[in-house]
Amino acid sequence: MEHPDEPKIGIIIHYFRMIINFGNKWLTLSNWFLKNEKHIFSKLEQLMVIITVICIVLLLTVHMFPYWLALIVCILLIQRVVEFLIVYSRNFILNEGRIFTAFKTPERRGQWLILMFSFNMIQIVLIFAIWYRLMSFWEPASFSKALSILDSFYFSVVTMITVGFGDIIPLSTGAKWLVIAQMILTFYTLVIVINGVISIHFRSKN
């Protein structure tokens, strides 16, 4: 319930909340598999471990898949990036979600969010590495050199942490757009997620 003296929410926030809540209902794994799960947070930890292992296996083997199957894998992996944006937007912009009712202290809440954030960051790096690897495998001219498995992972890491040594350069339009997407996601992560986690810990200290 809104306070009578509180300013009304603008139309941008209103529709942003609608989009995020719609995505949370239909596009997140927790609502697909763990909607009515009592011990959802321990199950989510197990799910994150499983997904991380799957991403590692995919990075090592996806170039051996038939083209159609590799393409399906790439499309399915988009869900992980979308879920990352949805979940952390709900937690750090809208302050919604079960985590605010399940954990009674900000310190415990912050610890769990840091754990999940770490798993998500690893997954994001691996997912973009998979995409870079396949793009280079299908079209070697996409980058300044053909990317091996290690090169793909390395390039994903340096792009995510915005280092950019310049030894690997995206050349094709698709490769450039993919790099732009990862850099935007990194900016979102630095501004929204890390700031949110730090603020939770400061609130717990105070």
User: Are 40 and 115 contacting, i.e. CB atoms less than 8 angstroms apart?
Assistant: no
Q: Per mean pLDDT, which range of 37-46, 56-65, 143-152 is the poorest?
A: 37-46
Q: What is the CATH number of the domain that holds 175?
A: 1.10.287.70
Range of the domain at 65: 11-205
pTM of the predicted model, to two decimals?
Answer: 0.89
- Stretch 66-78: mean pLDDT, rounded? 95
- Is 168 a domain residue? yes
Q: Across-strand partners of 170?
A: 143
- Is 6 a domain residue? no
39: helix, coil or strand? coil
Q: What is the pLDDT of residue 36?
A: 72
Q: Across-strand partners of 83?
A: none
Give the long-range contacts of residues 192-195, CB within 8 A, separation 24 or more.
192/88, 192/89, 192/92, 192/93, 193/88, 193/92, 193/117, 195/92
**Could you read off the pLDDT of 176-203 as tens digits, one per residue?**
999 999 999 988 888 887 777 666 655 5
The two tokens of residue 186 are 């990194």
User: Are 96 and 23 contacting, i.e. CB atoms less than 8 angstroms apart?
Assistant: no
Residue 99: pLDDT above 60? yes
- Is 24 a domain residue? yes
- Is 40 a domain residue? yes
Q: What is the pLDDT of residue 9?
A: 67
- Is 62 a domain residue? yes
- Is 4 a domain residue? no
First to last CA, the chain: 26
Amino acid identity, residue 15? Y
- Is 122 a domain residue? yes
- Is 2 a domain residue? no
* Number of domains making up the chain: 1
